[in-house]
Amino acid sequence: MLALGKLLELTLAGREPAEKTQTTVEGVRLRWLSEGALEVRPPEARDNGSDVLLSSGIHGNETAPIELLDRLLHDIARGDLKPRARILFLFGNPEAMRRGERYLETDVNRLFNGRHEQSSGPEALRAAELEQLARSFFSLPDRSRLHYDLHTAIRGSKIEQFALYPWKEGRQHSRRELARLRAAGMEAVLLQNKNSITFSAFTYEQLGAEAFTLELGKARPFGQNQGVNVSRLETRLKQIIEGDEPETESLDGLQLFSVSREVIKHSDAFILHLPADVENFSELKKGYLLAEDIAKSRWVIEEEGARIIFPNPKVKNGLRAGILIVPTTDAGLA
């Protein structure tokens, strides 16, 4: 196997490869761009006009997606997987990966769409670098653009595998992309309705990609991901890479949600009235006092069918401490 196929090994060791470019016997070119960043380019005759960005490790302790991308890259480097798409593999926060930590100082996935300019430290620099790598990769004209940013969650979830679909004014969510997500094993999709500061929001809003944050299960250390079943996603990613993806329009079994409100922590006095082990997608009854904050008073549940995702009272002041979501329909999809 080509040495560049061992991107994860290089990244965890903090090493730079001696050779920055290598080519497989089938003519697939692997090019090391930066720490944790590798571009895969098929032979020109096989190129189907698709650009696919696959990122993981934005949070360093979310290892199942990292291992998934490592397997795909090994298959490409060995010649077992024969790309027709250009692919950019990104491991988002290498130092946090080496330490087994979610992040070092600042959550990288809250530093996109210009937020890194308001911050400092290594993770702000990394977010800026990731934006530039994505911008350069998606700079070729007249090509389809797809970005899957792969994660696992801090906590358990009543719906284990789900996706977040960013929003941009004047742009409709795609039914075809939702069907692709369903085929990849996603059980639910959250259709967002405001701008965001995550990596997938950056590529969706700024670079015109179809982009998604995928949550694949619960975060576990390297080598302990037997309970995270990514087989359907792995199969679909191989099909996307090789350009032999079956067309599907079915959304059967896919639950759709929209954001009702974000719960923002404004001060150190913030209190979230939920158990520490509450699961994502837990239902909340009308009238329930969800949170209190000296700067923003009270959040009381008013919505029918409200559920909570990503509850985290430990975030920094000014960031969201949870998202209230409600069921929605597929009306309005493009």
Binding residues: 59, 62, 151
Annotated binding site for Zn(2+): 59, 62, 151
Sole residue written with tokens 């069907």: 179
Sole residue written with tokens 């330490």: 99
| Structure tokens that stand for 34 in this block | 């930066």
Catalytic residue among 39, 177, 215, 279: 215
CA atoms within 13 A on the CB side of 250: 11
- Taking the C-alpha atoms of residue 123 and residue 323, their distance in angstroms, rounded to an integer, is 24
- 117 annotated active-site: no
Q: What is the largest CA-CA distance in the chain?
A: 64
170: left (phi over 0), alpha (psi -120 to 50) or beta: left
Residue 111 in contact with residue 130, Cβ under 8 Å? no
Closest by CA position to 281, among listed 148, 153, 102: 153
Strands, E assignment, 221-287:
255-264, 271-272, 282-283
Q: How many residues does the chain have?
A: 334
Catalytic residue positions?
215
